[in-house]
Amino acid sequence: MRASLRALFCAPRKSIRGVATLINAESAMRRANEISKLGLGKSSPNPIVGAVIVGNDGQIAGEGFHHSQDGGKHAEVVALSKAGQRARGATLFVTLEPCNHMGKTPPCTEAIIAAGVKKVVFAVSDPNPIAHGGAQSLTDAGIIVEEGLLRDEVAFTNRAWLKKIKSSHPYITLKIAASLDGKVAALDGSSKWITSEISRTDAAILRSQCDAIVTGTGTVLADNPSLTVRNIKRENFEFKPVRVILGNREIPLDSKILDKSAETIQIKGNDLGELMELAKSRAWNQILIEAGPTLTSEFLRAGLFDEVFLYQAPTLLGSGLDFASQLDIKTLNQRLDLELLSADLLGDKEKNLRLHLLAASK
């Protein structure tokens, strides 16, 4: 931690009855990072952002996160209005550099200056050319500005939007549910259910965080999935990611994916470029691929993925269908390496494994 931050906030200490614990700079930013995640799946085309205001008494005076169902208010403005008069002389911790532009809402820099905030600490500078320049405006107004506290952690949390804003392409998450030997179905095609209920609930959280869920006609015909988000309680949000079907085959009109519970878009053929164009035109931050071996292999082959969530059940399916069976790898040096980020055990009695992997070059 930088010396100046240390000077402003005492280190956290044990709470004595009646004396609340003071919050230090790192904890405040960590809190901002945590609450920013509440906006996942509800911020597109905008970023997820969290803001925490620490008052002169060293206590949290207000906090907020960005989501689209709040008139598009930015996190800083939500936190400032919660803090009210306590924002005067306070420090604002925010995950993204405050915006400097008149967009859907007025510049956050103006609101911060007007509220009498003394210091602003942000984690990641804003790469959006329209909004950029907040740090300079705040400095010009005499506010102490510090950048970079928990930068890597916060940038990882906001990785989808940061990728989208820099490349115009959405962040692509592949979800795979397989047996221990990497099969997504038995030889006869039966596949319901390989992974446990807890794994499936966990995967539903992934759905809730994405703007679109992509599958293939093969999966629609084999499994008749609805690809909706059910039973996810977060801030009373309703999650309705767009469902996208790729492929040439006709699907029955009464397929669940064609029901009214969310928008569905069909792309004839397997042109991933067309999907990328659609994502760009909608400014989606993140898409989730929940498809069978053919389409999953296509994304892997094309390098069109950023991360993989592989849910594995401790069961063997022998000569069933491999999730990457169409990946035409003939020799070891053609292999596709991924970076293993974490491996978690899900469940209690019936345990599954969740591997979180990143595309190796990212």
Residues that bind ligand AOF (CB under 6 A): 46-47, 49, 66, 72, 74-76, 96, 99, 103-105, 108, 126, 128, 131
**76 catalytic, yes or no?**
yes
Q: Which amino acid is at 202?
A: D
Q: Which stretch binds Zn ion (CB under 5 A): 105-113, 114-122, 157-165, 238-246?
A: 105-113
Other beta carbons less than 10 A from residue 336's beta carbon: 12
Among positions 5, 48, 78, 108, the unique one binding Zn ion when judged by CB under 5 A: 108
Using CB under 5 A, which of 94, 99, 176, 272 touches Zn ion? Answer: 99
Rounded Cα–Cα distance for residues 1 and 153 (Å) = 15
Q: Which is nearer to Zn ion, 101 or 169 (CB)?
A: 101
Binder of residue 347, out of ligand AOF, Zn ion, none (CB less than 5 to 8 A by kind): none
Establish if 49 lies at the interface with Zn ion (CB under 5 A): no
Task: Give whichever of 72 and 225 is closer to ligand AOF, judged by the CB atom.
Answer: 72
Span of 57-65, 72-80, 121-129, 309-317 interacting with Zn ion by CB under 5 A: 72-80
Residue 66 interacts with Zn ion (CB under 5 A): yes or no: no
Binder among 30, 42, 67, 74 for Zn ion (CB under 5 A): 74
Instruction: Tell me which stretch binds Zn ion (CB under 5 A): 27-35, 93-101, 216-224, 242-250.
Output: 93-101
CA–CA separation, 88 and 80 (whole Å): 10
Put residue 17 in one of left, alpha, beta given phi > 0 → left and psi -120 to 50 → alpha. Answer: beta
- Smallest distance from ligand AOF to CB 128, Å: 3
As a whole number of angstroms, the distance between CA 170 and CA 157 comes to: 15
Identity of the residue numbered 21: T
Given 26, 34, 63, 76, which residue is catalytic? Answer: 76
Minimal distance, residue 80 CB to Zn ion, in Å: 11
Task: Tell me the HSE value of 153 on the side-chain side, using a 13 A CA sphere.
Answer: 16
Query: What is the CA 54 to chain-centroid distance, rounded?
Result: 26
Question: CB nearest ligand AOF: which residue?
Answer: 103
Closest CB to Zn ion among residues 99, 177: 99
Minimal distance, residue 307 CB to ligand AOF, in Å: 22
Q: Catalogue the active-site residues.
A: 76
> Residues interacting with Zn ion, by CB under 5 A?
74, 99, 108
